[in-house]
Amino acid sequence: MNRDFDICVIGSGAGAGPIIWILAKAGYSVVVLEKGPYLQTKDFFKDERNCCLRGNYKPDLRDEPQIVVEKDDNDHWHARNTYRSGIDFWNGNIVGGSSNFMSGFFHRLKPVDFHLRSTFGPVKGANVADWPIRYEDLEPYYTKVESIIGVSGRIIKHPYQEPRSTPDFPYPPTREHPVSELIDKAGQALGYHPMPTPRAILPYNALGRDACSYSGYCGAYGCATGAKGSSRAALIDQAVATGRVQVRPYSMVKRIKTNSSGNITAVEYLTKEGQTKQVDAHIYVVACQAVETSRLLLNSTGAKYENGLANRNGQVGKNLLFAGGGGGSGRLVYSKMSPEKAKRLKVFGPFINRALQDWYVIDDPDFGPPQKGGTIDFLLMHPNPVVRATRQIYGENGLIWGKPLKRKLERDFIDSRFIKIEAFCDWMPIDDCNITLDAKTRDKWDLPVARVRIGYHMQNVQVGWYLASRGAKVLREMGAENVVSFASSKPPTNLMAGGCRFGTDPDTSVLDADCRSHEIDNLFVSDGSFMPTGGSVPYTWTIYANSFRVADKILAQLGGEKQRSSRRQNS
C-alpha cells in the first residue's frame, strides 16, 4: 500500500529529533508535524520580555488553556483553568520544542535507576516499577548523544561515577566561573566530591554550529549561536538538508485516525489557516512532551479504541512524573571580601558547572533505611533584570519604595552575587498524578484540553529537604550569607515525563521495551512519556538517548537502511 511518507513524527523536541535524523540519513522520507513555528538560530535574542514575561514561545492561554487539579492545605482538590492561574505545562511550542530553552544540564541516569523496585523494594502509596531495559542497553546511546548533540565536560574520579564506554567527553568543559573554585574547596573541606556538570553546550565551533557566546542568558532562552544542543539546531536542520524531511510548522494534530480493524489510517491536523488535512505513513511516532502526548492519544478514539489510542488497559495518562527535589540560595557579598577576589567574582557570562552526587543513594541511619537520593547542581542566579528587580519591592512590612528600594536594588545588583542550588530527586509515580481530558473545557480547535492532576508523594519532599540542606552546607562553607534551603511539593512546569510508561506487561504499561505500543505495531512514543521512573537528574539526556535507541528499533522494523539508489531518488 502506498503511503505519503515512511515515517510521520508528531512533535519535534528531544524525543523526536534523533528519530528524524537517523531515519532521514538512512534514506527514509519523514514528515514532522509541529504546532508552532520553525524558527532559526538567527531568530533568537536575549529579550526578557519576549522570552520570559510575555511567553511568546508558548500558546496563548486564552486559546489553549489546561486545567490543573491540586490539593489545598486542607486536603481538598481544586481545579483551576491555567488562563486564570497563569501556571501551565506548555514548554516551547516551536520546532525543537522545549530543548531550545533548556539549560543543558546533562547528567546520565545510573544503573540503580533502572531497577529501583528491585533494589529498594516497594514504596507505600507509589507505583514504582523497574525498567524493562538496563543501563547497559542505554549506555551506547548516551555516548552517541555526546558526539552528535555535542556534550561538553570533564570526567573526574569520584565514588558515584556511572560506567562509561569512553574515557571522557568529546568536548572540553565550557568556561567556568571563579565561583566553581570556591565550591570545590568548600565541598572538599566537608568531605564531599564536587564534580563538573556536563552541558549540552559547545565550547568552540563544531558540528556546523558556533560556540557559546557566554551571554549569561541561557536557561529559558533560545540560543543565539546554536551552541546549545537543541533538537532543532543539532538534528532537525541537518535532517532537513538531506531533502528527505518535510517539517510542517503550524500543524496542530487533532487525532490519529484508525479503522474498524484498529489500524492507523491517517493523522488529521489543522493548518495555520484552519484547514483540516491528513497524512499517512508506514510508521507513526508521537513525541509531544508528556502532557500533550497523553492528551493526543486520549483524543484519538476509534471503533477499537473507545477510551483512546493505545489505552485499552486505561494506562494512558497514568503515573505522570515531574522532578522532585528542593532548592536554595546564598549571597556572596563583595564589600566583605578583598578587592581582588570581588573583581574575579564579578565576571559575567561563564557557568559554574558544578554538581554533587554524594547522596545519589542515601545510606544514612538518621534518615532511615537506604533509599534513592539525588543530584545537587550549583548555578548562578538568573540575570533577568525585570524579574530580579521585582523580587526586591517587598520588605518586612510590605511594599517599599524610594531610597529603601534603591538601596535594596543596589545590594542585589551591585554588591552581591547569589548562588543557587537545585536538588533533583525521583518524583514518585502515584495514582493522583495523571492526565485526563477535561469534560467541559475545549481549546480554540474545539478539542478537549488536558486535565493535569498534580498530587505528590511525601518522599519527594523528604528527600528534597535532605539534599537541599547538604547544598546549603556548601554555601555556608563558602562564606555565603542569607543561606536558605527548602523542598517543595509543587512540580516544576518544565520537567515532566511519564504518562505512557514502557514495560513487559501489557496490562500495566502502554509501551513495550522498544517504546512501541502494545496494541499497534507501527505506533511508537519516544518523548519522556515512556519513563516509569524519572531518576534524579534532568530528563533531556535520557530522552535523547532513548530516542536514538528507538530510532534503531524503527530502522530494524523497516528493514534497515534503504538502498543507495532509493536515496538518490528521494533526494
Question: For residue range 175-189, what is the model confidence (pLDDT) as tens digits?
Answer: 999 999 999 999 999
Spatial CA neighbour of 129 closest among 397, 315, 362, 402 = 315
Question: For residue range 70-109, what is the model confidence (pLDDT) as tens digits?
Answer: 998 888 999 999 998 878 999 999 999 999 999 999 999 9
Whose cell is 538531506? That residue is 242
Helices (H) and strands (E) in the chain, counts: 15, 24
Crossing angle (nearest 10°) for helices 458-478 and 179-189: 100
Strands (E), 301-370: 318-322, 324-333, 354-356, 361-362
Q: The C-alpha cell of 245 is what?
A: 524531511
pLDDT value of residue 571: 39
Q: The C-alpha cell of 117 is what?
A: 523496585
Residue 148 has, within 13 A of its CA and on its CB side, a CA count of 23
SS3 115: helix
CB-based contact 143:166 (threshold 8 Å): yes
Q: What is the DSSP string of 423-474?
A: EEE-----TTEEEEEEEEEE-TTS-EEEEEEE---HHHHHHHHHHHHHHHHH
113-116 long-range contacts (CB < 8 A, ≥24 apart) are 113/372, 113/533, 113/535, 113/536, 116/372, 116/426, 116/533
pLDDT value of residue 570: 46
Question: For residue range 272-323, what is the model confidence (pLDDT) as tens digits?
Answer: 999 999 999 999 999 999 999 999 999 999 999 999 999 999 999 999 999 9
pLDDT value of residue 564: 53
| Torsion angle, alpha carbons of 385, 386, 388, 392, to 10 | 130
| Torsion angle, alpha carbons of 228, 232, 234, 239, to 10 | -170
CB-based contact 16:285 (threshold 8 Å): yes
SS3 287: coil
Biggest alpha carbon–alpha carbon distance for the chain: 76
**Mean pLDDT (the chain, rounded):** 94
Bridge partners (DSSP) listed for residue 436: 451
Domain boundaries, the chain: 5-570
Task: Tell me the average pLDDT across 506-526.
Answer: 98
CB-based contact 107:360 (threshold 8 Å): no
Q: What is the DSSP string of 514-566?
A: TSBBSS-TTEEE-SGGG-SS--SS-SHHHHHHHHHHHHHHHHHHTTSSPPHHH
Q: Is 222 exposed, middle or buried (0-12, 13-18, 19+ CB in 10 A)?
A: buried
pTM: 0.96
Question: For residue range 388-436, what is the model confidence (pLDDT) as tens digits?
Answer: 888 889 888 889 989 989 998 988 888 999 999 999 999 999 999 999 9
Question: For residue range 105-122, what is the model confidence (pLDDT) as tens digits?
Answer: 999 999 999 999 999 999
CA distance 429 to 410: 44
Helix, strand, coil percentages (3-state) for the chain, rounded to 5, are: 30, 25, 45
Spatial CA neighbour of 103 closest among 546, 539, 477, 565 = 539
Q: CB 343: neighbour CB atoms within 10 A?
A: 12
pLDDT value of residue 412: 86
CA distance 124 to 369: 14
- Backbone phi, psi, residue 177, to 5°: -70, 145
CATH 3.50.50.60 correct for 5-570: yes
Question: For residue range 448-500, what is the model confidence (pLDDT) as tens digits?
Answer: 999 999 999 999 999 999 999 999 999 999 999 999 999 999 999 999 999 99
pLDDT value of residue 565: 40
pLDDT value of residue 460: 96
CA distance 63 to 134: 42
pLDDT value of residue 396: 82
Q: CB 385: neighbour CB atoms within 10 A?
A: 11
Strands (E), 53-173: 67-71, 77-81
Q: The C-alpha cell of 408 is what?
A: 535594596
With a cut of 50, say whether residue 568 has pLDDT above it: no
With a cut of 50, say whether residue 50 has pLDDT above it: yes
Question: For residue range 374-390, what is the model confidence (pLDDT) as tens digits?
Answer: 999 999 988 888 988 88
Task: Tell me the average pLDDT across 503-522.
Answer: 97
With a cut of 70, say whether residue 569 has pLDDT above it: no
CA distance 571 to 563: 13
Task: Tell me the average pLDDT across 7-33.
Answer: 98
CB burial of 392-410 (b: ≥16 within 10 Å; e: otherwise) equals beeeeeeebeeeebeebee
Question: For residue range 195-210, what is the model confidence (pLDDT) as tens digits?
Answer: 999 999 999 999 999 9
SS3 16: coil
Distance (Å) of CA 124 to CA 160, 457, 458: 27, 9, 10
With a cut of 60, say whether residue 9 has pLDDT above it: yes
